[in-house]
Amino acid sequence: MAFSENLQYIRLRAGITQEQLSEQLGVSRQSVSKWESGASFPEMNTLLRICDLYGVSMDTLLRGNMEEAEVGDTAQYDAFMNRFSLRISLSVAGIIAGVALMVLSQALGAPEMLCVAAFLLIITVAVVVMVASGIQYDGFQKKHPVIPDFYTEGEKDAFHQKFVWFIAGGVGAILLGVALLVLTFSLLPEEEPYESIAGAAFLLLLSGAVFSFVYGGMQEEKYKVWKYNRDNNPTPEAKRRLNLVGTISAAIMTATTAVYVGLGLTRYAWGEAWWVFPVAAILCGVVHIILDPYRGED
């Protein structure tokens, strides 16, 4: 492969346009177009910049075959994403499970403030894990701005079959929880502690469903290496909108926590006000959908 073909392969593998590549290299889009067509050749400093940015050798870039040179997961992307997916999924599901345990403990007669303190401890641990994982992910992105797509089509297809069961399992858990609620209220009086115990059981099943959805979804995204490369090298407009999504989501979760604590301190609604967190999660999802710079592309 000639340099022009290697450069085009690198750009397409990264999932970026000629304009995005030109912005990374500090040149015009027309220059990139000429390089890929073989009409001109970049300067040595630009070649070194391409090698550093995309982790390729000068010899391979100029005279080798980029596609054949990529043989494995040299960045340990797969292992890192597996850990990241598991931590985020457990943290999100853990918050819902914490609500269930708080409701169940109160129904069984445990002191209310002790239950609330335990729940806040669970939230603290979950938030710390998510923040630390996010920082690690950001560091991984900076260290590895572009990842070669080393997954085979067979590996992608094999996981997609598992992904179907992650989604189906989550839906099944929710439906099972609803069925148990109906059965419980059919056989037992609609009074405490039965209502709280039934509600706690439903929330535990819901936390399992959420784990299945989040973990399965993040694992499915892991195989879209082109999307990782695209998101890691956004255009200025896409970067602005992604930052806006993060800022609004953080504001929503901060306000939600303040509302929950406020309701708990002023109205002693620690056990009843748990619903504010699912509502906040839905609002964050809506914000992401509305402001997603790549909506419709995926």
Query: Over the stretch 237-263, which tens digit does the pLDDT of each residue have?
Result: 888 888 898 899 889 988 988 898 888
CATH of domain 3-69: 1.10.260.40
Which residues lie below 8 Å from residue 141, measured CB to CB, with a gap of 6+? 232
CB-count burial class (<10 Å; 0-12, 13-18, 19+) for 272 = exposed
| Residue 156 confidence class, pLDDT cut points 50, 70, 90 | confident
Q: How far apart are the first and last CA of the chain?
A: 30
pLDDT at 298 over 60: no
What pLDDT sits at residue 21?
86
| Residue 173 confidence class, pLDDT cut points 50, 70, 90 | very high
What pLDDT sits at residue 6?
83
Query: Over the stretch 181-230, which tens digit does the pLDDT of each residue have?
Result: 888 888 877 777 888 888 889 999 999 999 999 999 999 999 988 888 88
Query: Over the stretch 43-96, which tens digit does the pLDDT of each residue have?
Result: 888 888 888 877 777 777 787 777 665 555 667 899 999 999 999 999 999 999
Contact between 66 and 55 under an 8 Å Cβ cutoff? The reply is no
Closest CA to 169 of 225, 177, 68: 177
Residue in the structure block whose two tokens are 């609330």: 116
Q: Quote the percentage of the chain above a pLDDT of 90.
A: 26
> Strand, helix or coil at 2?
coil
pLDDT at 153 over 60: yes
> What number of other Cβ atoms are within 10 A of residue 69's Cβ?
15
Dist. CA 8–CA 11, nearest whole Å: 5
What pLDDT sits at residue 229?
83
